[in-house]
Amino acid sequence: MSNLSWWPVPGVRLGTVKAGIKYPDCRDLVVMELAPDTRAAGVFTRNRFRAAPVAIAERHLAAAAPRYLLINTGYANAGTGEAGLRAAETSCDLVAGQGSCERNQVVPFSTGVIGEPLPLEPFRMGIPRACAALSEHGWGEAAEGIMTTDTRPKIASRRAEIHGHTVTVTGMAKGAGMLKPDMGTMLAYIATDVAIAPELLNQWLHELADASFNAITVDGDTSTNDACMLMATGQSGLAEITDANSDAAAALYEELARVFQDLARALVRDAEGASKFVEIRVDEARDAADARAVAETIAHSPLVKTALFASDPNWGRILAAVGRAPVAELDVDRVKIWLGDVLLVENGGVAPGYREADGAAVMARADILIHVSLGTGTASTRVWTCDFSYDYVRINAEYRN
């Protein structure tokens, strides 16, 4: 059981079991029950080899309000063709039979090895046990039950008083590699007990995901199974949020944003083999696209990431990454680069006051800021990433062993 602190969300119950889907003694099957009239929105991977559960999840969300989410680890059910689609639908049937609902009121999610068939017998045995274990206090075990190469569960939770009502936001996420904008090999589930109008729920989910899960990267890869769900049970007693400009909406949005960003940062901190947490901040860009392009080019550079692991202030690698970023215009004489509060680069070369010892002191930290000002405009962005270590190579080389 996780010892993370969190608050239950009224209207959400979770049950987790060891179903033996791939490994005999790990939590690997989660059922999440949503109260009637819960509203839900989802965002999914943009990888064109989308997994079968992603296709079914989108189809079911478009057809009906979900009553249950089904999550399994071990096998991704991706690259499995029509058989994979049938297996995903069958798993939904098994939950629907337990919950006395329609198949399209069950939304499936899978994570694990790509290209192998989803074994259904563990689902037939495990789903009744998971449904029997449903509890509003089941977040801790569920956060463990969705992990793959993660070393620890991720839960974030917030409470606030809004117009005299106590409202709760709690979420869990998994993911340690193949993390990149457009989602990563990650699953995330965030719930609140506030009622939110459907259009606003969908709008907020996209905004919140872009500022959190779509602002992290480990290795530049994008998985086939990524998904993020935002659910609103409406059981807090607070009036439905319909106006994004209201005081209640602003207060709730702030709590949601904190949970989304806490989970996103937790994914990067537990990235495969990571020893450094790195924030890349780009400002004075011509537009948001240029800012993001520069930040991601730095974040995806194996040379930068290995220098971070070695605590080597090899600022030339950062300079080179900025210079090759796919932006239309870049005046190198205007670019400034900082490592923490140490100015590395200005006027097209090394800053006159830069000392190697100062750069090395910043690189030795566990949390590092790389700050780039382009000098071409007012747009800015932020990306969170990590270093590349020996363990990253080992974990991914041995992943299927």
Query: Read out DSSP for 27-61?
Result: --EEEEEE-TT-EEEEEE---SS--HHHHHHHHHH
Average pLDDT per block of 10 residues along the chain, 401 residues long: 76 98 95 98 90 96 97 96 98 98 98 94 98 98 93 95 98 72 71 98 96 86 87 98 98 98 93 88 97 95 94 94 95 97 96 96 97 97 91 75 67
pLDDT confidence of residue 277: 95
Return the closest-CA partner of residue 27 out of 130, 104, 165.
130
> At CA 193, angle to CA 9 and CA 135, rounded to 5?
25
Which residue in the block uniquely carries the two structure tokens 């206090």? 137
Cβ neighbours for 160, distance < 8 A, ≥ 6 positions apart:
166, 167, 251, 252, 255
pLDDT of residue 218: 80
Q: How far is 237 from 254, CA to CA, in rounded Å?
A: 19
81-99 vs 52-63: helix crossing angle, rounded to 10: 50
CA distances from 280 to 246, 268, 339, 371 (A): 33, 13, 10, 6
Report the length, in residues, of the chain.
401
Question: Residue 185 has what pLDDT?
Answer: 63
- Find the catalytic residue in 148, 149, 185, 192: 185
pLDDT given at position 184: 47
Element containing residue 385 per DSSP (H, E)? strand 379-386
Sheet containing 165-174, strands listed edge to edge, beginning at the edge strand earlier in sequence: 39-44, 227-232, 187-192, 165-174, 154-162
Domains of the chain and any CATH numbers: 12-269 (3.60.70.12), 277-397 (3.10.20.340)
pTM score of the predicted model: 0.92
Active site annotation includes 233: no
